[in-house]
Amino acid sequence: MTQLNPTGPSDAAPRPQRSAGFYLLQVIRVLVGLLFIFSGLIKANDPSGLAYKMEEFFELWHMMFFAPYALTFSVMIIVFEIVAGVGLLLGYAFRQFSFLLLLLMIFFTFLTGYAIWYEHVNHRELKCGCFGDCIPLTAMQSFTKDIVLLILVVILFIARKHVPALYRRPINTSLMILALFGSLYVQWYALEHLPYVDCLPFKVGNNILQKMQPPPGATPDVIEYRYTMKNLKTGETKEMSLEEYTNSNIWQDTLNWKTEGEPKETLIKKGNNTPEIKEFNVSDYDGNDYTETLLKEPGYNFIFFVKDVRKASTRNLDKLRRLFAKCEKNNVGFYLLSANSKEETEKFIRDNKLNIYYFAIDATVCKTAMRSNPGLMLIKAGTVQGKWSYNDYPGDFELKGEKLLIKR
């Protein structure tokens, strides 16, 4: 008869040994997961910003039929980044998520590679918005980051069978659902109000006029121009620099030589003389400029930004009218800046009973200055004092000496 051992079998199977490769794989998984969550949350701070970047790419690729869906694409990409990052940490449906992440990284790497090519050819910066406006990266920095990430994701995809789930399936599923609805809510709030953190040059505290100037000690781009000349008699072509072209007599010899095409531009050294705020021009519809008049006005001025009168929200306009009436009584400026035509702007003003002075502004500048459509900004001597979306217009204010105090 076999004697039983009360403490269990003496030859119990030992726990499986984990190799160094297994632990390295888990480190990569956690690192990539956290990076995707971080990247998604940075973009979720301002989903409109990514949508505008996508519209820029659609325009370059002559695919403007996608432009109306840019915001939807933006929200979906951000949700996927956050949810996929959480999925990596949890090891949830890892085979499927590793494949989808691989596709996403191939797409992002293509975008950043295209941005480098575009900058080289056109000498104009094209950012992909990989970390939003809060962490601006150059095209080369973004491309390098994506190459490294792509390699790590490829490793995860190859070793996808060796990544275990962190918790039981019901718990993992619950956490994934929470991540899905959490990422949607964060973006909804930013779109309905304003970004949680304003990383744009029109943020509260910045002086617009100062941001329109190149930074102190800035240097311009160094660009080399090369001309291609063709001999009309022999067909010979000769390429020369601008200095050679200017100093030679070839350009005067029109009987024998002619210039072929436009001069080639090569960026020798990137400068830093681009101001943070470009093309902020406020004018009436007759072309008279009021930019400096507005920005140098020593008193307080409310600016009502309307990016598109056809899509502008009319929510809380009663509150805005009361605020405007208070401004008139207290000699506080109140102006509408529209990116639409004069006729469309005047119709918007009539339809919404806004007895207000109105001016024209560039559409790109308008959506950079104010993410919501419409939105309100308070400035004093060109310095931004406050910003509100159409859901958060201030109800009242009080003037105490030289200070304007907002009342909710």
Q: In the chain, which residues have pLDDT < 50? A: 1-2, 7-13
What is the dihedral angle through the alpha carbons of 167, 168, 171, 172, rounded to the nearest 10 degrees?
60
Distance of alpha carbon 179 from alpha carbon 360, whole angstroms: 42
Token pair 């370059």 is found at 60
| Coil vs helix vs strand at 385 | strand
Which amino acid appears at position 336 of this protein? L
Whole-number pLDDT of residue 8: 47
| Coil vs helix vs strand at 270 | coil
Whole-number pLDDT of residue 318: 92
Distance of alpha carbon 308 from alpha carbon 19, whole angstroms: 59
DSSP state at residue 4: P
Side-chain-side CA neighbours of residue 314 (13 Å): 9
45, 82 in Cβ contact below 8 A? no
Residue 278, CA distances (Å) to 186, 212, 219, 283, 375 in order: 30, 6, 17, 15, 20
Structure tokens at 313: 């929200």
Whole-number pLDDT of residue 104: 86
pTM of the model: 0.79
| Strand partners of residue 72 | none
∠ CA 192-127-220, nearest 5°, is 125
∠ CA 49-370-220, nearest 5°, is 70
Distance of alpha carbon 164 from alpha carbon 350, whole angstroms: 63
Nearest of 377, 223, 220, 207 to residue 292 by alpha carbon? 207
Each domain of the chain, given as residue ranges in start order, spans 20-192, 222-269, 291-407
How far is CA 127 from its chain centroid?
A: 8
163, 97 in Cβ contact below 8 A? no
Nearest of 352, 248, 337 to residue 295 by alpha carbon? 337
Helix boundaries (H) for 276-394: 291-295, 317-329, 342-351, 363-369
Distance of alpha carbon 141 from alpha carbon 143, whole angstroms: 5
CATH of 291-407, one of 3.90.1170.30, 3.40.30.10, 1.10.3470.10, 3.50.50.60: 3.40.30.10
Distance of alpha carbon 146 from alpha carbon 149, whole angstroms: 5
Strand bridging mode 333-338 / 257-259:
unpaired
Distance of alpha carbon 21 from alpha carbon 158, whole angstroms: 13
Nearest of 306, 314, 309 to residue 344 by alpha carbon? 309
Whole-number pLDDT of residue 339: 94
CB-based contacts of 79, cutoff 8 Å, min separation 6:
40, 180, 183, 184, 187
| Coil vs helix vs strand at 396 | strand
| Through-space distance between the first and last CA atoms of the chain, rounded to whole angstroms | 87
Token pair 């009502």 is found at 304
296, 381 in Cβ contact below 8 A? yes
